[in-house]
């Protein structure tokens, strides 16, 4: 296996062949014909919400995280799967307590790097370095006109990422558990590796919207093998910003990519508009795990409620038979450790 180089950002080559389920149901990505790439800002628009009912997924949790034939069929058809009671109360409490300790130990006084508009390179550098450390990102609405936080940092942080799975023992234990390994074995992964992890707060009143997107846009491999896991650490409802998804949208292919170059990051094409009637809400209880195909179009709305919506997410790719793109935003200095090798 080759090595990652954060400075020169070469391709990471993964050798071998994988029978990963994701590779069997995806059309190839078609890059834009116009080779000139321009920056496309991500905008947030408030949309009227209709409440269609999602197809009822088979959500019973089989032993050790392995997926049943019905669950695999549902995932292949819809691009997501809800696994109820994946995490125990004790495990979730341990993660919530640990993130509280990390936030308490973070010096929130020096937050200019998150909010500056005059020096975007500082923000980009902080973002890029977060791939291999534990970094703190604030909600856009956390700041007042004077540039200071309007409330306690504990109620102002958007997320903590992106290497909790490597650097913190509590989150590493969850990510490297037998249940996680069994899940990816069921999906056909040969050498899965966690590429990023995030603790997401979705703060009450100010929790920001996440616009419709596909995870493979940001974590691209050839062939595409990205799968996201989203663990609800609190109940997620339409009131506090639960996930929404377009069932079956993963079969239509990857819409666009985010590219990293010497100028920072940009998208290779604009985001299309989506009919909100196609989205279904994925309301889940705490402890549920949502498995998300890398090409599934999903989103979440602002949290204007008085209740938070904590979640822990990780994104995994197969490092066998795949190539990690040299223009992904994550360009590591060291190769990630696989969860297992089969």
Q: Convert the pLDDT of each residue in 240-264 to its tens digit.
A: 999 999 999 999 999 999 999 999 9
Q: Is residue 64 part of a domain?
A: no
* 300 bridge partner residues: 210, 243
Judge whether 187 lies within some domain.
yes
Query: Please, are residues 192 and 317 in contact by the beta-carbon 8 Å criterion?
Result: yes
Average pLDDT in the 203-214 region? 96
For residue 232, what is the domain's CATH number? 2.60.120.620
Task: Dump pLDDT digits (tens) for 134-178.
Answer: 999 999 899 888 888 899 999 999 999 999 999 999 999 999 999
Is pLDDT at 39 greater than 50 in this prediction? no
Residue 68 lies in a domain: no
Q: For a pLDDT cut of 70, what percent of the chain falls above it? A: 79
Does 233 map to a domain? yes
- Determine the structural domain holding residue 118 and report its residue range: 12-27+75-324
Confidence of residue 58 (pLDDT cuts 50, 70, 90): low
Using pLDDT thresholds of 50, 70 and 90, give the confidence band for residue 49. Answer: very low
Q: Domains in the chain: how many in total?
A: 1
Coil, helix or strand for 314?
strand
Helices (H), 208-266: none
- pLDDT value at residue 64: 59
- DSSP string covering 172-198: HHHHTSHHHHHHHHHTT-SSEEEEEEE
The pLDDT of residue 100 is above 80: yes
Peptide bond before 69: cis, by omega within 30 degrees of 0?
no
Taking residues 185-192, what's their average pLDDT?
98
Residues above pLDDT 90, as percent of the chain:
70
Q: Is the pLDDT of residue 23 over 60?
A: no
The model's pTM is 0.83
Tell me the C-alpha to C-alpha distance, in Å, between residue 245 and each of 89, 124, 291.
Answer: 26, 29, 12
Is 330 contained in some domain? no
Query: Is residue 215 included in any domain, yes or no?
Result: yes
SS3 315: strand
Residue 272 lies in a domain: yes
* 46 part of a folded domain: no
Reported as a pLDDT band with limits 50, 70 and 90, residue 123 is confident
């Amino acid at each position: 296996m080759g090595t990652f180089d954060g400075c020169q950002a070469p391709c990471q080559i993964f050798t071998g062949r994988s029978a990963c389920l994701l590779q069997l149901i995806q059309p190839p990505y078609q890059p834009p014909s116009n080779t000139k790439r321009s920056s496309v800002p991500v905008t947030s628009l408030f949309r009227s919400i209709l409440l269609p009912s999602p197809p009822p997924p088979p959500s019973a949790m089989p032993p050790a995280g392995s997926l049943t034939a019905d669950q695999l069929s549902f995932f292949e058809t819809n691009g997501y799967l809800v696994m109820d009671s994946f995490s125990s109360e004790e495990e979730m409490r341990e993660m919530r307590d640990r993130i509280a300790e990390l936030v308490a130990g973070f010096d929130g006084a020096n937050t200019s790097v998150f909010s500056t508009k005059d020096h975007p390179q500082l923000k980009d550098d902080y973002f890029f370095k977060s791939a291999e450390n534990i970094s703190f990102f604030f909600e856009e609405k956390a700041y007042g006109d004077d540039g200071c936080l309007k409330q306690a940092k504990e109620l102002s942080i958007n997320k903590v990422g992106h290497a909790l799975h490597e650097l913190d023992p509590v989150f590493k234990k969850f990510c490297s558990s037998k249940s996680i390994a069994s899940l990816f074995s069921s999906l056909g992964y040969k050498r899965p590796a966690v590429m990023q992890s995030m603790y997401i707060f979705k703060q009450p009143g100010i929790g920001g919207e996440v616009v419709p997107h596909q995870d493979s846009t940001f974590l691209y491999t050839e062939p595409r093998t990205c799968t996201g896991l989203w663990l609800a650490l609190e109940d997620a409802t339409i009131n506090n910003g639960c996930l929404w998804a377009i069932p079956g949208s993963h079969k239509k292919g990857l819409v666009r990519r985010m590219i990293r170059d010497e100028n920072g990051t940009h998208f290779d094409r604009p985001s299309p508009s989506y009919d909100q009637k196609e989205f279904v809400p994925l309301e889940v209880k705490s402890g549920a795990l949502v498995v998300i195909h890398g090409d599934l179009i999903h989103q979440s709305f602002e949290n204007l409620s008085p209740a938070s919506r904590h979640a822990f997410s990780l994104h995994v790719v197969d490092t066998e038979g795949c190539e990690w793109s040299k223009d992904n935003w994550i360009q590591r200095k060291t190769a990630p450790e696989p969860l297992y090798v089969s």
